[in-house]
Structure 1
Amino acid sequence: MTDVPDDVADVFDARETFVPGGSGYVVETTSFEGHVTASEGEKWRTDYEVTVRAPTLQAATADDVGPAVRDGWFETFERRLEDAPKATRVAVDLDDYTVEEDGEEVVVTYRFSLGGEREAADVAKTFVEYVEGTYVEGIVPGYDYVGVVADLLSAASTGGSEGSRGGTPL
């Protein structure tokens, strides 16, 4: 059971992309964990929060990643993710945007308000996909990647999944 408004639940329930999870919906079409919640906003708007969890660069590799590379990668990733609203088909003004490390994960959170539930569902999906795509584009060559990142790289370069891979798909 979700805690989102009924009109939002109707739209999200009708989409194969989303499945109920926790107090909102989980995005099922990406490898990274994406979660969307919604609550009543001001006037005719609904407030949305999209949270995406991805591995840190160090957690995604079997190698030791030096602090300069880790810090540079994180700062670049954070800057590039600010552009997520430009990837949507509707005008979205972010109410809040954060990128934080939480142990071996990077937690990206977008908060926004919209009046149209269908548009909000599209925006939420786009944000989760944007984080995943930006992550893959920012992979640092020369490391032996493991887990979900290795799977993403393998799928990008071969169309399949091997579970362990070094380098980038380009």
Structure 2
Amino acid sequence: MTELPDRARRAFRDHDAFAPEEATDGERFVAVSTPFDATVDSKAAEGGRIEFSVTVRVPMLDEVTEDDVAPIVEEGWYETFERRVASIGGGIFGGEQEPEPSVKETTFAGDRVAAVSATFEDIDPRRGVNDAAAVVDFVEGTFVQGVIPGYDYTEPVTGILSKARQTGGSDGVEP
């Protein structure tokens, strides 16, 4: 493998969803379009292609509620989240990517998270960067789909729901 081509760095730099992570010499980019921790590691692959490795970390349900979430509820939430994320694809990609995402419960920055990872390659760096952003958006949307009514949520869930209500023109009806 060789150094990441400048055309890939430009594609990330030109995209409003990402910013370079300074300590990585332009090999890793941070998603600035989501409140979740989301990064894309990129490197040159064979045949002029670029490999994009997307990781999105979303909090486990109990981490973003004021209330305690029963273990059986969180287990069901996690299993549902995992199944929904596995269906990534279905027209969200501009290229012919067929990533097989994995979901793993882990600890990140002291919090329990579900870490979603998906890797794909593309010859067109702009399309690849757009597809990386689509993965981040898909994971965020999948997380929001799984928000269970009846709990008092904390950030970032309250911010996401508030933004969605504002965008949708809602009058502030609570979830």
Distance 2:174 2:69 in 1: 14
Change (3 A) 1:15 1:42: same
The match for 2:129 is 121
1:6 Cα offset (Å): 2.1
Does 2:88 align with 1:84? yes
**CA spacing shift, 1:99–1:166, aligned 2, 3 Å:** farther
Task: Quote the sequence identity (%).
Answer: 34
Q: Normalising by structure 1, what TM-score?
A: 0.86
1:18 maps to which residue? 18
Could you tell me how far apart the structure 1 residues matched to 2:128 and 2:48 are? 13
How large is the RMSD of aligned CA atoms in angstroms? Answer: 2.1
Write out the 4+ residue segments of structure 1 that deviate beyond 6 Å after TM superposition: none
The residue correspondences of 1:151-162 to structure 2 (distance < 5 A) are 151-159=159-167
Cα distance in 2 between the residues matched to 1:4 and 1:141: 44
* 1:134 paired to 2:139: no
Partner residue, 2:117: 109
CA distance in 2, matches of 1:159, 1:43: 43
Which runs of 5 or more residues in structure 1 are unaligned?
none
How many residues are treated as equivalent by the alignment? 161
Q: Counterparts in 2 of 1:25-40, with a 5 A limit?
A: 25-40=29-44
Q: Name the SS of the counterpart of 1:64 in structure 2.
A: coil
Q: Indicate how the Cα distance of structure 1 residues 148 and 5 shifts in structure 2: closer, same or farther if over 3 A, else same.
A: same
Task: Provide the rounded CA distance (Å) in 2 between the counterparts of 1:109 and 1:34.
Answer: 10
Given residue 82 of structure 1, which amino acid in structure 2 is its aligned partner?
Answer: A
Larger RCO, structure (CA 8 Å, separation 6 or more) = 2
Q: Secondary structure at the match of 1:92?
A: coil
Normalising by structure 2, we get a TM-score of: 0.84
Query: Which structure: greater strand fraction?
Result: 1
2:61 pairs with 1:53:
no
Q: Letter of the aligned partner of 1:46 in structure 2?
A: I
